[in-house]
Structure 1
Amino acid sequence: MSQKQAVLDLGRKTDTQLVTLRGLQFWLYATNVLSPFLPVYFQAKGYSSGQIGFMMMLGPLLAVFFQPVWGYLSDRLGTVKKIVFLLWTLSILSSIGLFASTGYGPTLAFVTLLYFFWLPSLPLMDSITIKATERRGQSFGSVRLFGSLGYTVVLIVGGVLLGKWFGISSLSLIFWATWAVPLVLLFKLRDEPASGERMSLQSLKPILKNKSFLWFLLLVFIISVPHRMHDVMFSLYLTEAGGSDSMVGWSWALAAAAEIPAFALLSRHLHRVREFNLIGLVCLLYTFRWLAYAITKDPWVMFALQAGAAVTFAVFWITVVHYTVNILPKQLTSTGQSLLAMVFLGFAGITGGSIGGWLEDHHGGSSMYVFAAIVSLAAGMIFFGSEIVARRRRETALLKQISKL
């Protein structure tokens, strides 16, 4: 073995970056224990479905306008770590205000601030994970799956604690406990060196001029609306059907656990398929899944349907992240992921939450999922149609090149 190879092997053995990132993904998504239980917490405080949907989605809407700013600052300053630390600190402070609030106005203000600061950290962590895995020859999904694992474990534990011992009023204690480990791990994280030219406002032009990527973001918005509606309203739908607080936790844990195999395996095979065709297929699977939710009244069937996340959301998210990474320049990785999160968490979030809350209040929970099925079917047709148009353009361009020979 050469001296150079020995140094490289030693570097791999002492490189703990991926281990740290796996831990951060695990605990960052564990802090999302709030999402499935907050609607139940708000319902216990007497708020209506419409009010809950609005509260859960106003923060993501406002985050829409600042999401790319955090990504730009990260790319421009060459640091994810410091910006994430700032966002997490402000998130924790906002949560203290949230759980101390008693009226609707203060509660709305603090839950908005909480999500406003917490949500941007997700694409930033995805960005540094993508850079780290690419440099070390690993797949993004092999690290991201730890996020689903963390979400699963904490939801199970949290559901049991809230359902059998503490009650939903003690949600704050579980949420704050999940922050201890990620804050420690963040200090061990190293910023990944940027590839390509230094980020600048001038370098944003490729995104603004990339019609394919902008069209892609529009399609992501359409398919994300019903999914984000489900994220906000399912916990209420399940409890109204007779499910317990503990079942709420277990149902979301099942969804997260079902995603793990997809995150672990799919990244290795994405290069073999066209992304738009795969997302179109996912849209059709979403259609059948949402129809099943609309038809059933049994909470245990609703619980079982959560496993459908394995072939819907997990496949969808890995594919859209993969497409975003491939279509944009390397130095725009954080910005691209922020724009993707802006659409999914922000625009689609406020739209889905508002529509879902209104439908729940005026036409019942089943109407939400009928709407979701219709939108998903339409999105699938658009994705398939877009791929057909793109293929014809590629064939036309190839024929022109051949004719010039």
Structure 2
Amino acid sequence: MTAAPGGAGRPGRDAMAMGAAYAAFYLAIGIQLPFLPLWLTARGLSPQEIGVVVAAPLVARLFATPLIGFLSDRLGRPKAVLVTLALATCTGMALLALSRDFLVIVLVLGATALFWNPSFALLDSYATRLARAKRADYGRARQWGSASFIVANLAGGVIIGATGQDGIVLMMLAGQLVYLAVSTRLPPLAPAPAPVTDLAGVAGVPWRLVAAIVAVALVQASHSVLYVFGSVHWGAIGIPTTTIGLLWSIGVIAEIFVFRFGTRLMNRFGPHLLIAAGGVAAVARFGALAFAPPEPALFALQLLHGLTFGATYLGMVELIARSVGEHRSGSGQALASWAVSLAMSGASLAAGPLWAAFGTQAFLMSAGLGLLGALVALAARPQPHSSGAGGKASAPS
């Protein structure tokens, strides 16, 4: 892409700004993912209620993400959309910190997710557009989000262990305020070029792209039981909060490694094999967790997060980048995110009853989803003579 005046930027500075945006964005997520269930437990919610609360943002995402992705593309002002979403998210988190009743928590968190969750896809769309213009490397920018997640995990575990669980949502709010400030400094994008191709005009067999997105959704949904009850379970068996934070961090360290070398991995294996590798790793990771392994084994199993999440996520972003033009980049990433949210919301809703009935055996559902995702990804992989899901392959960055 040839950048228009005012959109060319300086690659080094643009890459730093994009990395800073990811780092700031994932601060709140580094608190929310491992520790929000602890806050919900402290509020007196049951396992079934926690499952509903965790699923609420995913359900909200089903409606908001495609709509806001389309709106962003239509307006042609992705930076303004991201800043507005960040401001609205801060407001929602402030209200969540004041919430105590189950129904109020569900409604407030669901409403907040209408603004927070679409930012995942739109930030990825922003980064891939910079990558196409050779102004940033997607994987290397995204790795700073993972690094920030680790910092939030570790610092959050220490702070929560010392001060208690009541401040968890306030810590999420603080992280989101940092992101709001950083998002205003995102580098400008050149106007998207005239449409050349999109999801409806991709060469080859369209079902392969759809099937690959379904595979991603299945593998990502395999994390649901861990996301909802991992920290609660580890705390219940006596693992300290600081160690819980470290367990999450170990997984993200592996994720950073995958993102760091994402371009090489993509060029060597392609998106379908990366997605399939994530599914196979999910079978091993969650199949083992179903049988309550000892604490040292948990650290080894958490390393598989680099594949179950990192490789699968890279595969998804690259598939969409190959398959849609820049004029629909936000919509494409948003629709893929929608499919993942649909699968994860269903799995999260199922996690509560399954955990209440079977305990750690609920992880067998996760292993099954990973296996199914791997099989679908392999089935969707283009044959050597096929043009595949999106024509000529390209590096993710």
Does the pair score TM above 0.5?
yes
Partner secondary structure for residue 312 of structure 1: helix
Q: CA deviation at 1:210?
A: 3.8
Tell me, in whole angstroms, the C-alpha distance in 1 between the residues paired with 2:351 and 2:70: 32
Match of 2:82 in 1: 84
> Greater share of helix residues, 1 or 2?
1
1:16 aligns with 2:23: no
Match of residue 55 from structure 1? 53
* Mapped contact 1:64–1:347 kept (Cα < 8 A): yes
The one of 351, 359, 364 equivalent to 1:370 is 364
- Aligned-pair distance for 1:278? 3.1
Residue of structure 2 in register with 1:394 after alignment: 386
For residues 339 and 296 of structure 1, do their structure 2 counterparts lie closer, same or farther at Cα, with a shift above 3 Å needed?
same
1:339 counterpart (335, 342, 345): 335
Deviation at 1:204, TM superposition (A): 6.9
Residues 326-372 of structure 1: CA distance to partner in whole angstroms, max 9, x if unpaired?
A: 1222322111111121122x2122112111111101111x2221121
* Contact 1:76-1:198 within 8 A present in 2 as well: no
Mapped pair 1:285 → 2:281: yes
Note the residue ranges of structure 2 that are not aligned, 5 or more in a row: 1-7, 388-397
Letter in 2 for 1:76: R
> Is the contact made by 2:217 and 2:344 (CA closer than 8 Å) also made in structure 1?
no
The corresponding residue for 2:238 is: 242
CA distance in 2, matches of 1:329, 1:180: 32
Q: Does 1:43 align with 2:34?
A: no
Other structure's SS at 1:355 match: helix
Q: Distance in 1 between matches of 2:24 and 2:147?
A: 9
Letter in 2 for 1:182: Y
Q: Aligned to 1:31, which of 14, 28, 33?
A: 28
Percent identity between matched residues is 22
Distance of 2:225 and 2:335 partners within structure 1: 20
Aligned equivalents of 2:13, 2:277: Cα separation in 1: 38
Q: Is the partner of 1:68 in helix, strand or coil?
A: helix
User: What is the DSSP-based 3-state SS (H/G/I as helix, E as strand, rest coil) of the residue aligned with 1:305?
Assistant: helix
TM-score calculated relative to the size of structure 1:
0.86
Q: Mean Cα displacement is larger for which, 36-45 or 213-222? A: 213-222
Q: 1:34 to 1:278 in 2, by over 3 A?
A: closer
Greater CA drift, 376-385 or 125-134: 376-385
Which runs of 5 or more residues in structure 1 are unaligned?
1-9, 396-405
Q: How much does 1:54 deviate?
A: 0.9
Q: Is the 8 A contact 2:354 2:362 kept in 1?
A: yes
Counterpart for residue 400 of structure 1? none
Distance 1:25 1:360 in 2: 33
User: Over the residues paired in the alignment, what is the CA RMSD in angstroms?
Assistant: 2.4
Residue 296 (structure 2) pairs with residue 294 (structure 1):
no
CA contact (8 A) 1:64 1:342 kept: yes
Query: Number of residues paired by the alignment?
Result: 377
Q: Is the 8 A contact 1:195 1:330 kept in 2?
A: yes
1:206 Cα deviation after fit: 4.1
The separation in 2 between residues aligned to 1:61 and 1:55, in whole angstroms, is 10
User: Which deviations, in whole Å up to 9, do the C-alpha atoms of 1:27-52 show, x marking residues without a partner?
Assistant: 10111121211111111222111110
State how far apart, in whole Å, the 2-side matches of 1:171 and 1:54 are: 19
CA change 1:19–1:358 in 2 (3 A) is same
Partners of 2:160 and 2:334 lie apart in 1 by 33
Report 1:145-164 matches (<5 A): 145-163=143-161
1:351 is aligned to 2:323: no
Give the secondary structure class of the aligned counterpart of 2:376: helix
Deviation at 1:11, TM superposition (A): 6.5
Distance 2:269 2:244 in 1: 35
TM (norm. structure 2) is 0.88
What is the CA-CA distance between 1:112 and the residue it aligns to? 1.2
* Bigger Rg, which one: 1
Distance 1:179 1:129 in 2: 19
